[in-house]
Amino acid sequence: MKTTTTVELSSAPVSAPVPVPVPAPAAAAADGPVRVAVLVGSNRQGRFGPVVAEWLLGQVRERDDLVPDVVDVAEIPLPTTMSPSPAATAALAEVTPKLAAADAFVVLTPEYNHSFPAGLKNLIDWHYAEWRAKPVALVSYGGVSGVCAPSSTSVRSSRSSTR
């Protein structure tokens, strides 16, 4: 037996997006090398992320116009609640200035269940202002499924909310 479902769509008006002011690029980018935060997005034991990060850092260090700074989610005990513990507050105090000082980001991420890791999402969520209006490059690994992480809806949503 075939069933049919009817869905009524709301006729509420849709407003145009509000323009968001884009801050001026960091002065260091114009006067010196570009500071690139390289985010290692996996915190699993036995992860392949550090191997990819070392390869990428080797490429970046060959250039005089880029200065990398590694942020590894496995080494940062970020809070998972809105009431962070003293240790989590200290972790935020350590990583936030690194992200704020970056002119651009390279995110290294595996594919976990057709998306990206929760630790990486947590890092993004805690640092909304630090990401805003800065370029982001995504490097995904993990065979055929590695393509899923940067193309997932959740990554696109996170990236668009940081513009």
115 closest CA partner among 143, 137, 148, 140:
148
What pLDDT is stored for residue 8 in this prediction? Answer: 44
How high is the pLDDT of residue 91? 86
Given a cut of 90, is residue 152 above it in pLDDT? no
Q: What is the pLDDT of residues 27-60, one digit of tens each?
A: 444 689 999 999 999 988 889 999 999 999 999 9
Q: Which two tokens stand for residue 163?
A: 């513009």
- Distance (Å, whole) CA 23 – CA 139: 25
What's the mean pLDDT in 92-121?
Answer: 91
Residue 23 has pLDDT above 80, yes or no: no
Average pLDDT over residues 141-158: 56
Look at residue 19 and tell me whether its pLDDT is greater than 60. no
Domains and CATH numbers, the chain: 35-42+57-161 (3.40.50.360)
Quickly tell me which residue has 């002011």 as its tokens: 21
Q: How confident is the model at residue 151 (pLDDT cuts 50, 70, 90)?
A: low
Q: Which residues fall within 8 angstroms of residue 28, CB to CB, at 6 or more apart?
A: 34, 35, 103
Say yes or no to pLDDT of 150 above 60: no
Per-residue model confidence (pLDDT) at position 51: 92
In the prediction, which pLDDT does 63 show? 94
Average pLDDT over residues 136-160: 63
Question: What mean pLDDT do residues 56-67 have?
Answer: 95
